[in-house]
Amino acid sequence: MQRFILFLLLAGFCVPTLGQNANNDDAFFIRKIYDQALTEGRSYPWLEFLATRIGGRLAGSPQAAAAVEYTKQMLDTLHLDSVWLQPCMVPHWVRGDKEQVKIVSSRKMGDVDLRAFALGNSVGTSENGIVAEVVEVQSLDEVDKLGPQALTGKIVFYNRPMDPTQINTFNAYGGAVDQRGAGASRASKQGAIGVLVRSMTTRNDDIPHTGGMSYEAGVTPIPALAISTNDANLLSELLQEEAVRVFIKCNPQKYPDKLSYNVIGEIRGSEKPEEIILVGGHLDSWDVGQGAHDDGAGCVQSMDVLQIFKRLNYKPKRTIRCVLFMNEENGLAGGRAYAEISNKNKEFHLAAIESDRGGFTPRGFTAESQATDFEKKFKNMSNWLPLLEPYGLTLSLGGGGADIGPLRSQKGILIGLYPDSQRYFDYHHTAIDTFDAVNKRELELGAAGMTALVYLLDKYGTD
């Protein structure tokens, strides 16, 4: 191996020298972090419980309450300086009976059941369901163009796929998800009575993907459901040949907001306790699967950061805080409440790292900030790259995460763990986002990478 390193240098390979801030002690400690994570990490068994024993845990559900209790208990076992629950009021939406979506009396196919999930926050149909002709569109703008003449009394079918040529699948998601979030409002304004949306995935399969949507103030709320991509393809092909009528029946309900909690644990800093380094994910998930990748993974990784530091007997200079946010999926109440209270208490988050892109092999971190000297801070952090690159980690500009977003005004650094994105949208918001879809090593490497970055942030700050 030595031979190879020598050769790398001979070959003129660009081996950046360590910045003044980093040294061999750091390389040694980061190696210990990885050893710990890969041999005595707790993220995997914690996730097993959260995903398989508790399961899907939409805000307001009994499972969400169980997840709060379970993760608090686990944090309590770590002998942290404090563990507490932070109250927040969350929306309480319940899916109700299994959705029915059916192509009705197609000349070619007869009746065909479509695999569907109501979108989160959607209203239901009447008890008898609705039946209407389907109009396929590719965009929100196309709905506006078609107008009420074409759409009144119809079901609008948004069928623009995620772009498979995007290398980062989150870009493909970003290019299609407006249909899910805003499609119902736009269609309702033109007189439509319901909306079907192609599931957000690049795969062609039978798995419907739920997800959040909302109604603009003043529009008539109409039912909105996602159908699987195979069913979307079938429906689209059929529409080439004949007018198609679809029956939809679902009865999700919105109940009054409920009290729930963010779960928080911290190791208090020995020198600068007022500078907080946050690690977190969101504890709630959609109800249809186990919420393993989204975002059980991010929660247990964040908990493991504290566990690893405690096992290594690391005494941080700054306060290291793990926050498991409630209600990211359909409201962000937890993230908002956390920032509000933090601001009220005049806290300062030097950095906040969120893991909410699945428990896959980490490829690095994305960072953003409203700090006026972010450029300089980012450059300082880039000096750590030689310590992170041996573990396959890079640092680039990009979003931090939804839950930590409300902390933006504190002008610290918001950081997102950036794992390999290829498989995420196979599982995202589905019934197959289950524990067995998570690889133990991939999950643990994410926890280790987060811990390594927190260590460097704690030791050197960002200035």
Report, as residue numbers or ranges, the catalytic residues: 328
Closest to a copy of itself by CB, 107 vs 379, is: 379
Residues contacting residue 206 through CB under 8 Å, at least 6 positions apart: 115, 228, 230, 231
> What is the closest distance, in whole angstroms, from the C-beta atom of residue 359 to a copy of itself in the complex?
11
In angstroms, give the least distance from the CB of 460 to a copy of itself. Answer: 17
Which residue do the tokens 């269609």 mark?
A: 187
Q: Is 111 helix (H, G, I), strand (E, B) or coil?
A: strand
164 belongs to the binding site for a copy of itself (CB under 8 A): yes
Which 1-30 residues touch a copy of itself, going by CB under 8 A? 4, 7-8, 10-14, 16
Rule CB under 8 A: say whether 243 interacts with a copy of itself: no
Binding span for a copy of itself by CB under 8 A among 47-55, 218-226, 378-386, 452-460: 378-386
Task: Specify the amino acid at residue 432.
Answer: I
Block residue for tokens 């003129």? 12
Q: How far is the CB of 39 from a copy of itself (least distance, A)?
A: 6
Q: Give the H/E segment covering residue 27.
A: helix 24-40
Residue 255: what residue type? Y
- Residues pairing with 195 in the sheet: 156, 224
363 is an interface residue for a copy of itself by CB under 8 A: yes
Nearer to a copy of itself, 131 or 385 (CB): 385
Cβ of residue 74: shortest distance to a copy of itself, in angstroms? 21
Task: Please tell me whether residue 39 binds a copy of itself under the rule CB under 8 A.
Answer: yes
- Residue 124 is classified by DSSP as -
Q: Are 282 and 334 in contact (CB under 8 A)?
A: yes
Q: How far is residue 187's CA from residue 193's CA, in Å, rounded to a whole number?
A: 8
User: Is 62 an interacting residue with respect to a copy of itself (CB under 8 A)?
Assistant: no
Interatomic CA distance for residues 332 and 212, integer angstroms:
11
Radius of gyration (C-alpha) of the chain in whole angstroms: 24
Contact call for residue 233 and a copy of itself (CB under 8 A): no
Q: If binding is defined by CB under 8 A, does position 345 make contact with a copy of itself?
A: no
Any contact of residue 445 with a copy of itself (CB under 8 A)?
yes
Burial of 245 (0-12, 13-18, 19+ CB in 10 A): middle
423 lies in the binding site for a copy of itself (CB under 8 A): yes
Binding-site member from 34, 261, 435, 455 for a copy of itself (CB under 8 A):
34
Taking CB under 8 A as the binding criterion, the range among 54-62, 186-194, 292-300, 436-444 that sits at the site for a copy of itself is 436-444
Work out how close the CB of 5 gets to a copy of itself at its nearest, in angstroms, rounded to a whole number: 9
Sign for the CA dihedral angle at 352, 358, 363, 366 comes to negative
Binding-site member from 15, 375, 409, 436 for a copy of itself (CB under 8 A): 375
Q: Give the residue with the Cβ less far from a copy of itself, 7 or 84.
A: 7
Near a copy of itself in 396-415, by CB under 8 A: 396-398
- Residues whose CB is less than 8 angstroms from the CB of residue 337 and which lie 6 or more positions away in sequence, other chains included: 86, 87, 88, 262
Q: How far is CA 225 from the centre of its chain?
A: 20
One residue of 169, 210, 260, 434 binding a copy of itself per CB under 8 A: 169
Which position among 18, 38, 239, 432 is part of the footprint of a copy of itself (CB under 8 A)?
38
Residue 420 interacts with a copy of itself (CB under 8 A)?
yes
The beta strands (E) that lie in 24-139 are given as 82-94, 100-106, 110-114, 116-118, 130-137
The pair phi, psi for residue 352, each rounded to 5°, is: -135, 130
Rounded CA separation 384/367 (Å): 14
Q: Which residues bind a copy of itself (CB under 8 A)?
A: 4, 7-8, 10-14, 16, 34-35, 38-39, 164-165, 167, 169, 202-203, 361, 363, 375, 378-379, 382, 390-392, 396-398, 420, 422-423, 426, 439-442, 445
